[in-house]
A = this chain, B = another copy of it.
Amino acid sequence: MSSSNSDQRITLAHGSGGKLMHDLIKNVFLSNFDNPVLNILDDSAIIEIKDASLAFTTDTYVINPLIFPGGDIGKLSVCGTVNDLAVVGAKPLYISCGFVIEEGFDSVSLEKITQSIAETAKKAGVMVVTGDTKVVERGKGDGVFINTSGIGICTYPLPQEIEIGDRILINGSIGDHEIAVLSARRELGLNIDIASDCAPLGDLISEILGVSARIKFMRDPTRGGIATVLNEIVEDKDFGILIEEKEIYVREQVKGACSLIGFDPLYLANEGKVVVIVDKEDAEQVIDTMKTNPLGMDARIIGQVVESPKGRVYMKTEIGGTRIIDMPVGSQLPRIC
């Protein structure tokens, strides 16, 4: 499939195991993901592993629109999965790519998305080692959905026991991804100049794990935002979390969009952020290390683990009050990842 032919479209036969599918795999996927493990094109990729603990994760990406400021579904599908590996203390190594393509999807877009996967994988230090392609009839899908599953090797013991006084850190502003996607949809009349934070966090995480042995827990606050992550941390636990609104960095554009449409930035999805719980003694050093990485320049300590109220997340507001931050029922927007 040549990019010069912009009229080429995906047909059902491209997903059917015959010559057209073989050509698609060879010309689009193999040429972009080129590596010795994938090139064997066997039913499974074979990976050598030394005695180790493996991390294994999966995510399907159904984001709408496929391209948004700061990224596209290809970049997102690598970042999301490598970040899921990195936050459990694993070095991301291998990913799979499973495409579900709607009949009629244009081949040039497919190739661009594939290139985006390849570039992001290279940046994140992972290899695409196995894949799958399915095509569904027009109106039975939506452009393209991508599943990426990932394997990493655990290098850091997580989670560790969370204690009262531990600090809650995040590597920058919140809500950029969800507002960028919302704006790209142009549904709510929003046209906000903001890019998604979509980025692979493996290097930043590896750097902070190198300076502190007392990082207790990490998670990337995607769907449901930091409110969801913090609630998951305290659920059924003997401690609570108190965050400080004034320490949480929300860009002006995100603040503006939220006030226009009634969204709360705490519940907005991020794709290049990590919430870190670390011993209070090491918190400043972890922040300093984050700040040396372009993905952590706006890192902040946003709160701490408190004795009570147990099992709840509270926020001290900028005007001095306190409010409960609940688990959301649904998220604010569907299909933001």
Which residues in A have some Cβ–Cβ distance to B below 8 Å? 11-22, 42-62, 64, 83-85, 87-88, 90, 94, 96-100, 129-132, 134-137, 139-142, 145, 147, 149-152, 154, 159, 219-220, 222-225, 228, 269, 327-335, 337
Contact = CB atoms under 8 A, between A and B. Distances in A.
Nearest to A235: B22
8 closest A-B pairs by beta carbon, nearest first, are A13-B330, A17-B223, A17-B224, A16-B331, A149-B149, A58-B96, A44-B57, A44-B55
A211 B98 CA distance: 35
B46 A54 contact: yes
A40 to B, nearest CB: 9
Given A55-B45, A150-B44, A100 B137 contact: no
A28 to B, nearest CB: 16
Q: Is the interface of A mostly helix, strand, loop or mixed?
A: mixed
Contacts of A18: 224, 228, 327-331
Given A16-B223, A19-B329, A96-B57, A140 B137 contact: no
Copies in the complex: 2
Contacts of A222: 17
Nearest to A18: B328
Contacts of A328: 16-19
Contacts of A151: 54, 56, 151
B149 A96 contact: yes
Contacts of A147: 58, 60, 98, 132, 147, 149
